[in-house]
A and B are shown apart, each in its own frame.
Chain A
Amino acid sequence: MGIILNMSDAIILFSHGSVLCGAGQNLAELAARMQARGDAAMVEVGYLNYSEPRFGETVRSCVARGATEIIVVPYFLVAGKFVKEDLPQCIANAERAYPNVKMRVAEAVRFHPALADALLACAERAQAPAAWRDTKAQAAAFCRASKRCPLYGSNDCPATRASEMVV
């Protein structure tokens, strides 16, 4: 059939990365869920910018754990510059470092009818104004006290809020 993934394969979700603390939490959970249900022996996230682990580090860790075939899925809605220019550069670097590892790049998220169902399910979970900023609390829960985080220095940042209390 050719549609069953070889269990030695790894799937790497390639994402941009964010300065906001906790922004990667959802994607980490998505990868863990895919790995737990057996989509591939390893399902990991690799970032282009800002967030850890960077793509090259993710490849290194998958190869160290025995991956010989890696499928990279761009976790982007649209295949723009990051997917068309930056990702091929990352792939070329990885192929130079691991010439015996076969790497393939899948399509970005783009169009899929399941996205319509996902959107409708998101609407089902709609909430009143009091809950609209709950994701900010999620960012605070994963605070790394990063000065680049847009919450740093605001009342929403646990690190800077705490230091104000000390002063």
Chain B
Amino acid sequence: MKDAMLVMVHGSPRPIANTDMFAVVDVVRERGVYPIVEVGFMECNEPSIPQAIDRCVEQGAQRVIAVPYFLHTGMHVTDDLPNLLDQAQAQYPEVQFLMGDYLGHDPLLADVILERAKQVEA
């Protein structure tokens, strides 16, 4: 089964705010776990999440694993993103859609935070 990873991002009126996220996604691509890795924005920036899903399907994705690039659980993670994925599932019934955990929930965040603290301590 050909998997795609879709990184779902909030988006920002200042596109430069996405620079760090794109760098993280580049590392994800380098890891080579998923043959397709796309970014989709909820607001402000393109491609939108539906557009990014189109791109995944055009590249032959049979399964889309959508991961929220969010630190917190709020209404976006709880409602808005699942709604977008429901719509995508209705549009592409032959594709399987899964939703991943949100970024802030991963235990590795503790290591990132600690490193930030150490950098200012040094």
Q: Do A and B come from one complex?
A: yes
In the complex with contacts A116-B31, A119-B7, A120-B28, A109-B71 CB distance below 8 A: yes
Distance (Å) between the CB of B66 and the closest chain A CB?
8
**Residue A96 lies at the interface, judged by CB distance under 8 Å to chain B:** no
**Residue B17 lies at the interface, judged by CB distance under 8 Å to chain A:** yes
**Residue B58 lies at the interface, judged by CB distance under 8 Å to chain A:** no
A26, B73: Cβ atoms closer than 8 Å:
yes
Of all chain A residues, which has the CB nearest B96? A128
Taken together as a complex, chains A and B put the C-alpha atoms of A133 and B84 apart, in Å, by 12
Contacts of B81-107 to chain A: CB distance below 8 A: 81-82, 85-86, 89, 97-107
Q: What residues of B have a CB within 8 angstroms of the CB of A117 in the complex? A: 31, 108
Contact of A39 among B17, B25, B101, B117 (CB under 8 A): B117
Q: What is the number of residues of chain A that contact chain B, defined by CB distance less than 8 Å? A: 60
10 nearest CB pairs, A to B: A116-B27, A126-B98, A118-B106, A132-B82, A111-B20, A122-B101, A118-B108, A106-B116, A106-B120, A126-B100
| A–B Cβ pairs within 8 angstroms, 22 of them | A20-B78, A23-B72, A40-B117, A76-B71, A77-B69, A105-B120, A106-B117, A115-B108, A118-B109, A118-B112, A119-B28, A121-B108, A122-B68, A122-B105, A122-B106, A126-B66, A126-B100, A127-B100, A132-B81, A132-B85, A135-B73, A138-B73
